[in-house]
Structure 1
Amino acid sequence: MFQLFKKRNFSELVGDTFTFFKMNGKHYFRNYFIINGGFLLVLLVLVYFIMNVFFEGLFANLNGGLGGTNNTIDHYMNNNLELFITLSIMTVVVAVFLSILSYAYPVAYMKLLEKNSTFSTNDIIKVIKSKIGKIVIFFIASLFVLVPIMMIAMVLSFALVFILIGIPLLFIIIPALMCWFSLSFYDYISTDKGYFEALGNGFSLLKQKFWPSVGSTAIMYLIMQIVVGFVSMIPYLIGVFSMFTTLEGQNSPNIQSEQFSFLMLMMGITMILSLLLNFIFQNFILVNQGIIYYSLREENENNTPKSEIDLIGTYSE
């Protein structure tokens, strides 16, 4: 059984994140896809249809340009404006719902793991349902409290980039804000505290071991971006390479149209793959934040002896 309550340094915060998935990854992701998979599939389908409408407009414009007709894409988009707006609204609604659900899932999972070594999908759903009110309140309240603070901090950091000091600040402020948000969310959902109390406690936890917490967050975010960026860019690079190698020395309008069509297809696959991988690998960051949260709680509450007593019955079975 993975030990949540444990005092950890920087290397252990990163290493135990991968240890968690080594021990619980199969169970974690199986339940993740059972709970979130349907909504994720709907989101990917909606994104596909939006891109299909947009790319068809580009193809119409390409063919119109080759035939001497101007403003073809404007005509196409005007004719399909209602469809495009409807799909966009549906996509935003599903994306927001899925993002909130994906954020709540690891909190519910770790809350159950805190007390039990075995639990089912229904147990996770029950925890999420029991906390749905607090989850919605947290994200709505954060739109008016946390998000403006984060935006001001980001704007100031980007402004300082012009005098160079902002560049290192960005590498500190971005993961620090992410960590503050996550620690506050974990504390708000895992306890009976109010929103502002959880926000204050999350900030206190962040300050408690600032550099290990921010450093591990930055490392996990960097790993995620490298993996997602590398994998998702493969279809796009295939499309670009295929287009330039085929078009070399050939000026036929039909060949150009076919190659641009293939490039757009690869771009669509790239976007869908990037979206899918972002939701999947986001779990590594969120679990890392949970490990930070329980480690900092251990520093303050000394829960290890209690956990070891609880595990005696598990080992004897």
Structure 2
Amino acid sequence: MLQLYKSRDFALFFKDTFAFIKMHGKHFFKNYLLVNGLFLLVLIVMSFILYMEVAELQALGLLDERNQREFIRYLGDNSNIYVPYGILYILISAFVGILNYAYIPLYFKLYEKHKGANFTNKEISKELFANFGRLIKFLLVTILISIPLMIAAAIVMGIMAITFIGIPFIVFVVGLISLFYHSALMEYMKYDDKSVFDCYGYSLQLCFQQFFPSIGAVGIFILMIIIFQYVYSFLQGIVLYFLGVPFIENPMFLSDLDKTSLVFIIAFALQTGMYLFNFLTSATLQIHQAVVYYSLKEDRENIHTQDTIDDIGRN
């Protein structure tokens, strides 16, 4: 078992993240797919249907700026299809997003409770659905908080983007925002008696606990994830190039392929793999943020130290 409550420096944030993946990666990702897999598959299929519809609109020229009236008329004539599908797609996307972001806090909550990865996907699912109402509440408050936060972040990143020197530091602003949200959700899922605003207030304090090591670690990890996703996209492009698929000239290349051909099957599998890869790398980032969260919490509250003293007293 990886010790969660532990004071860590910049290097140890990375070391313990990879140590956790090495020890429990199989259990974590297996249960991740068991809990989220069906919903991810539904979302991928719906995204593909939407993708094909957009490709058809593009082929008809309705997406051109000069054909806006025809496009609006087309949507109006088919509103009985597009409106229900759009609403359903948004709801399922939101549901999948909630499950994905709630999985990690609840996984670590059970990991802490069982003192290791000694639990099943049924226990995770039970926790997810038992806390679903609280998650909706968290989401609504988060939307409220995000409005001024995103405006402020956009202004700061805009100022940074003006200068060449400031551009690399944008990733650290993203890291700060990401850790702020994730730590608040970790705290909210951990304690049933804490309000959303209390958790965000506590998360803000944690973010400034070891500001440069923690935010730097999260920012660099985000950069690593972006690079990994880019590499996958690059390798996908190479395979498609050798298959003779003009993916660069036509972003909607799947719509031009014969749906029964081997080329289409390979291209579709690669595209589906990209969806899954992005979800899994996002989950890996959240593991890293969880390690940072527990470390900052230990520095602030000395939980492991207190537990050790209590154990000595009991013995």
SS of alignment partner, residue 3 of structure 1 = coil
The corresponding residue for 1:23 is: 23
For the residues of structure 1 that align with 2:310 and 2:121, how far apart are their CA atoms?
A: 22
Paired with 1:238 and 1:86, the residues of 2 have a C-alpha distance of 36
Give, in angstroms, the shift of residue 137 of structure 1: 1.1
2:5, 2:294 within 8 Å by CA — same for their partners in 1? yes
Partner of 2:103: 105
Residue type at the aligned position of 2:207? L
**Quick one: distance in 2 between partners of 1:279 and 1:120?**
21
1:202 deviates by: 0.3
* 1:234-245 mapped onto 2 (5 Å cutoff): 234-240=235-241, 242=244
Report the CA distance between 1:11 and its aligned residue: 0.9
The 1:132/1:81 distance shift into structure 2, 3 A limit, reads closer
RMSD: 3.4
- Structure 1 residues 18 and 310, CA gap change in structure 2 (3 angstroms): farther
For the structure 1 residues 160 and 21, does the alpha-carbon distance in structure 2 shift closer, same or farther, using more than 3 Å as the test?
closer
Instruction: Give the 3 Å change call, closer, same or farther, for CA 59–184 of structure 1 in structure 2.
Output: same
> Counterparts of 2:121 and 2:296 in 1: how far apart (Å)?
28
TM superposition score normalised by structure 1: 0.79
Task: Tell me the equivalent position of 1:261.
Answer: 256
Aligned length: 292
Does residue 216 of the first structure (1) align with residue 217 of the second (2)? yes
1:90 matched residue in structure 2: 88
Compared CA separation, residues 288 and 302, structure 1 to 2 (3 A): same
- 1:13-162 mapped onto 2 (5 Å cutoff): 13-59=13-59, 82-116=80-114, 117=116, 118-162=118-162
Secondary structure of 1:145's partner?
helix
Partner of 1:180: 180
Instruction: Tell me if structure 1 keeps the 8 A contact 2:160–2:170.
Output: no
Q: 1:142 to 1:23 in 2, by over 3 A?
A: same
For residues 171 and 114 of structure 1, the distance between their equivalents in structure 2, rounded to whole angstroms, comes to 30
Match of 1:167 in 2: 167
Q: Matched residues in 2 for 1:302 and 1:290: separation?
A: 17
**Greater CA deviation, 180-189 or 124-133?**
124-133
Q: Indicate the larger mover: 155-164 or 105-114.
A: 155-164
Distance 1:232 1:84, change over 3 A: farther
Write 1 or 2 for the structure with the bigger share of helix.
1
| TM-score (structure 2 length as normaliser) | 0.80
Letter of the 1:51 counterpart: Y
Contact map agreement 2:171 2:223 (CA 8 A) in 1: no
- Residues 214-245 of structure 1: per-residue CA shift (max 9 Å, x gap): 1111122112111122113433444456257x
1:275–1:298 CA distance, 2 compared to 1 (3 A): same
Residues 47 and 311 of structure 1: CA distance in aligned 2, closer, same or farther (over 3 Å): farther
What do residues 5-28 of structure 1 show as CA deviations (whole Å, max 9, x unaligned)? 111111111111111111111111
User: What percentage of aligned pairs have identical amino acids?
Assistant: 29
The code of the aligned residue for 2:190 comes to: S
* 1:38 Cα deviation from its structure 2 partner: 0.4
Can you list the C-alpha shifts for 1:259-286, whole angstroms capped at 9, x where unaligned? 9924996886665443322211111111
Deviation, 1:130, is 2.9
SS of corresponding position for 1:114:
helix
Q: Which runs of 5+ in 1 are unaligned?
A: 62-69, 248-257, 313-317
- Alpha-carbon distance in 2 for matches of 1:75, 1:141: 34
2:224 is aligned with what amino acid?
Answer: I
- Contact kept in structure 2, 1:236 and 1:270, CA below 8 Å: no
* Structure 2 unaligned regions, length at least 5: 62-66
Q: Secondary structure at the match of 1:193?
A: coil
- Per the alignment, residue 197 of structure 1 pairs with 198
Aligned AA (2:199):
A
- Whether the 8 Å contact between 2:52 and 2:255 is mirrored in structure 1 is no
